[in-house]
Amino acid sequence: MITRFFFLILAAATCCAAEPQSFDTSWITATPEVLTYRSTGKQGDGLYQVSVWKTADGIELYINIITPGFTKSVSGTMAPDLYPRESKGRIVVDGQIIMTTDCTYKPGQIHIATLMIPYNRTVEDTLPLSKFVVDFSQIPLLPRTLPLKPGAEFKFDSLNPQSNALVPLTYRVIKEEMIHGAMCCKVEASDFEGQSTLWIEKSKPHRAMRIEQQGRVTELIPTPPGATAPQ
């Protein structure tokens, strides 16, 4: 159904570098950027769409994943420096809402509430917050804001959404490579679900042009200038 790239958006990450990681969000504008991807794999094809834009007091992001019989929607709000404020997620299977997740950030703590609707069960956790945390809604945005170059490596602690345990999340830039007419940084990503490879555009706005993982390939659908992104 949905592979590990889609489950990445359920992860959260805490920067574990000695110095706070800086993030470049200068390419994000008040006009929503809408990127649409086509995903192909043995378990079926689908569409994956990410929208991001700046508001008067921060940044907002919306993610929508659609495959036959499955829809996942995630929204997130954050400060201009990428510090998260709130996020919401929803999974729908065969037209029925199966799970919702709400995450809020307050000084010193993160509150997570997951409702498993078929079991009428809510799982809540409050985690201590002492470092910068990347919310699960920001995962598609994170590598686009990092200073990628061959040999660079970025390490974070990621929250396994199935256990709320912190596990490593790593991005390692292995080389530069041309793909779909754009020079990209080829990035190896490792998280609780396994390995993936991302091709991130070198020039702004640093779009993810291609994502590969076991059994699935996800590629950006080009949108001509002035055209409306595919729905």
Which pLDDT belongs to residue 95?
82
What integer pLDDT is reported at residue 187 of this predicted model?
98
Beta bridge partners of 219: 38, 210
Question: What span, in angstroms and rounded, lies between the C-alpha atoms of 122 and 119?
Answer: 9
Q: Which of 99, 88, 90 is nearest to 60 (CA)?
A: 88
Could you tell me what percent of the chain has a pLDDT over 70?
84
Helix (H, G, I), strand (E, B) or coil at 200: strand
Alpha-carbon distance values, 18 to 135, 141, 175, 198, 226 (Å): 20, 22, 25, 25, 43
| 8 Å CB contact between 102 and 85 | no
Asked whether 112 and 102 are in contact (CB, 8 A), the reply is yes
Evaluate if residue 9 carries a pLDDT over 60.
Answer: no
pLDDT at 54 over 80: yes
Encode pLDDT of 175-230 as tens digits.
999 998 999 999 999 877 789 999 999 999 999 999 998 888 999 998 765 444 44
The pLDDT value given to residue 163: 66
With pLDDT > 90 as the criterion, what percentage of the chain qualifies? Answer: 47
Residue with tokens 């929503």: 32
3-state DSSP assignment of residue 75: strand
* Rounded mean pLDDT, 69-90: 91
Question: Span 1-30, mean pLDDT?
Answer: 59
Average pLDDT along the chain: 84
Residue 213 tokens, joined: 């993982």
Q: Is the peptide bond before 20 cis (omega within 30 degrees of 0)?
A: no
**pLDDT number for residue 217:** 93
C-beta atoms surrounding 18 within 10 Å: 5
- Distance between terminal CA atoms of the chain? 20
Per-residue pLDDT at 53 exceeds 80: yes
Q: What is the mean pLDDT of residues 125-152?
A: 89
Q: What is the pLDDT of residue 162?
A: 63
Q: Over 60: is that where the pLDDT of 6 sits?
A: no
pLDDT at site 97: 84
C-alpha–C-alpha distance, residues 149 and 138, integer Å: 21
Going by C-alpha positions, the residue among 171, 224, 202, 220 that lies closest to residue 48 is 220
